[in-house]
Structure 1
Amino acid sequence: MEVILIEKSDFERLVGHIEKIAEHIRKSESGKSSGGSERWISGMEAMEILGVSPRTLQRYRDSGRIPFSKIGKNCRYRLSDIERVLEAHRIDGTEEKPDGLRRQYLVRTRKPENRRKKT
């Protein structure tokens, strides 16, 4: 093994360059994962995942609940959007906090959360 001696300032500058390269790689990788490589699914797959009928899926599109892209006659959905809808409507039976209970009540009764009575 060959030993190389360098000054402390040169070593610190080298480490700084390595950190910049590592940060650039991290940014590049995160851009790829959130960019165009996301999986798009068909309406049939979306209905299967959500457990809804074609008409219900159409209502979700019309109301803006699920974003979609349309190519010709075919609608496509991002898998992450479908997962987001599922998470937003998840009901946790162990919830004890008032805000969580209120949200679950609104999900169960299908009442929009932004509609509050004015007193």
Structure 2
Amino acid sequence: MRRGPGIPADAVPLVLVAFGAGALGGTAIGGRLSDRRPMATTIPAAATTTLVLLALIPLSTAPAAAVVLIFLMALAVAARRGTTRVIAHGAAEARAPVPRDVDEATSTPRR
């Protein structure tokens, strides 16, 4: 981080704070949106991640742009990650057999 964009060593912790803030925001935003519409959240979050990473290639030499893009990358990745879990959990629930009553749910399967 210090070689590419030329961020001073004293500023590296601030860049990590920006990454953490982006990840926290992405988790909150992605969680709310994915509860309502998981697929409509996953695709834009993945596309945003791709665009941010592509923008990071030419803009990585500018310190301010690199910090903003690192924040946006963390935001998009965290939003997509939470949404993927919601989709996977929903798919697992759809395949799991539903017990008919409490006894069936708490009993051990017979072989």
TM beyond 0.5: no
Structure label with greater radius of gyration: 1
Scaled to the shorter chain, the TM-score interval is: 0.3 to 0.5
Q: TM-score, normalised by structure 2?
A: 0.34
Higher helix share: 2
Higher relative contact order (CA 8 A, sep 6+): 2
